Amino acid sequence: MNKIKSFFTSFIKKDATKTVVTSLWCALLGLILGFIILLIINARDAAFGMTSVLGNYLIFSSHSDRLNYFGQALAKTAPLIAMSLSILVCYKAGLFNLGGSGQYSIAVIIITLLGVGANMPWWFVLIIAMIGAAIWSMISGALKAFFNVNEVISGIMLNWIALYLTNGILSSNTSIWDSAHSESYRISSGSNSFIPSIGLEHVFAGNQIVGLGMILILVVVAIIYILFKKSTVGYELKATGFNPDAAKYAGINYVKNVLIATAISGALAGLAAVLNLQNGFTSWRLSSVTPEIGFQGISAAFLGGLHPIGIIFSSYFIIHISEGGSMITDLGFAPEVASIMTSVIIYLSGFTAFMKEMIRKNEIKDELNRLNREKEKKS
């Protein structure tokens, strides 16, 4: 009995558990606030609206519909995981990657030109897109390392430059641009550039957008986990992030590490575009604002406690409620209600450090009290 108890207390005291608990609190508070907003907008349908947001595909009555939309949710989760990992890698190295949208856009250009335009093999398109995005991201890294330009600002500037570049290049090329819908053509399921669905579509009621990408992203999560847990490269990145001056003093090359961090995170942002476009699910739509996914990645990364495994769950959660949000338009609610919920959740997850600190202080207090009591007993 005592053993179980001690196991349980040590489990609760673990840092990871605290992170999970605080993240769950944030998610719950965000959802409650979302519900209140729905109540204000339309009290009569609010409960049903909330069920739709939370239930997402579960509200469908047909089994195959449910499987189909579950597959769609999974397929949309994969790119978000990639984007969150991109934010994570930079964050561990002490950089904030706000340029994810730009890196994503650059990969979109490459995928559309090589995939839709030239029908290249999918793995080739994937590699080139990731390299392209990595190089774009390294502009930010180089400006930081050599000219001390704040990476947040350069990232934002590069987002806008990439946005106009993508709009300009794709829309001027009639073979890849569908001007009637002002978006680029999608990669069709028969083409060489389509990521193979390796039979997974049979599991998800014939939904072909689920495929090899699912396995790919899990492999990438594992690689990033090992990178920071076991490898020298990851250790040096973390050291640079923790204290750049101390890292320099210990002989870690600062410039090299900033470039590596931005390159990896750019490649991951490029992978997000690959997973979003090369299953024929979306394409580039003419837009006057930078793609949302770069900012969603920040939400998922922080809600996931900045841990590769946590990111899998937080990304799925964010996709789940934003997909659910798109189902409540019939009730007269704007789908952006889901976006309010996620942004409130990110806002609250900013408080996690403080919350953990409070838990720690309480523990110290308890420990001191216990010691005092023991002392009294003895005397």
Partner 1 sequence: MIITLSILSFLLAYVSVLTITALGGMFSEKSGTVALSLEGSMTIGAFSSGVAMYLLPTYLPDGLCAIIVILVAIISSGLYSLLLALACITFKANQTLIGTALNILSTALAVVIIKQITITEALPVGNSRLSFNRFYEIFNFNLFGLQGVRFNWLIFIVLALIPIIYVVIYKTKFGLRLSSCGENPSSADSLGINVNKTRYIGVILSGLFAGFGGLLLISMNAEWEFANGASGFGFLALAVLIFGQWKPLYIFLGAFIFSLFKTLSVVYPSIDFLANLGISSYFYLALPYVVCLIVLVFTSKKNVGPKALGVPYDKGKR
CB of 357 to partner 1, least distance (A): 9
Are 307 and 61 spatial neighbours (Cβ–Cβ below 8 Å)?
Answer: no
Q: What are phi and psi of 356, to 5 degrees?
A: -60, -40
- Residue closer to partner 1 (CB basis): 90 or 125: 90
- Residue closer to partner 1 (CB basis): 135 or 233: 135
Question: Considering only CA atoms, which of 321, 190, 209, 204 is closest in space to residue 275?
Answer: 209
Token readout for 18 is 């605290």
Are 104 and 155 spatial neighbours (Cβ–Cβ below 8 Å)?
Answer: no
Token readout for 276 is 């979003």
The C-alpha angle with vertex 209 and arms to 30 and 120, in degrees rounded to 5, equals 125
Query: CA-CA distance, 235 to 253, in Å (whole number)?
Result: 12
CB of 172 to partner 1, least distance (A): 7
CB of 138 to partner 1, least distance (A): 14
CB of 8 to partner 1, least distance (A): 29
DSSP state of 56: G
The DSSP bridge pattern shows strands 177-178 and 183-184 to be antiparallel
CB of 167 to partner 1, least distance (A): 6
- Residue closer to partner 1 (CB basis): 65 or 357: 357
β-bridge partners, 183: 178, 285
- Residue closer to partner 1 (CB basis): 81 or 345: 345
Q: What are phi and psi of 306, to 5 degrees?
A: 55, 45
DSSP state of 176: T
Token readout for 36 is 């209140």
CB of 216 to partner 1, least distance (A): 27
3-state percent breakdown (helix, strand, coil) of the chain, nearest 5? 75, 0, 25
Burial of 343 (0-12, 13-18, 19+ CB in 10 A): middle
Determine the residue type at 295: F
- Residue closer to partner 1 (CB basis): 336 or 374: 336
Query: CA-CA distance, 213 to 275, in Å (whole number)?
Result: 6
CB of 198 to partner 1, least distance (A): 35
- Residue closer to partner 1 (CB basis): 8 or 96: 96
DSSP H helical ranges for 254-351: 254-277, 293-303, 308-325, 337-349
- Residue closer to partner 1 (CB basis): 163 or 220: 163
CB of 94 to partner 1, least distance (A): 12
SS3 (DSSP) at 177: strand
- Residue closer to partner 1 (CB basis): 26 or 200: 26
CB of 346 to partner 1, least distance (A): 4
Q: Point out which residues bind partner 1 (CB under 8 A).
A: 37, 41, 96, 98, 143, 147-150, 152-154, 156-158, 160-161, 164-165, 167-168, 172, 288-290, 295, 298-299, 302, 329, 332-334, 336-337, 339-340, 342-344, 346-347, 349-351, 353-354
- Residue closer to partner 1 (CB basis): 90 or 187: 90
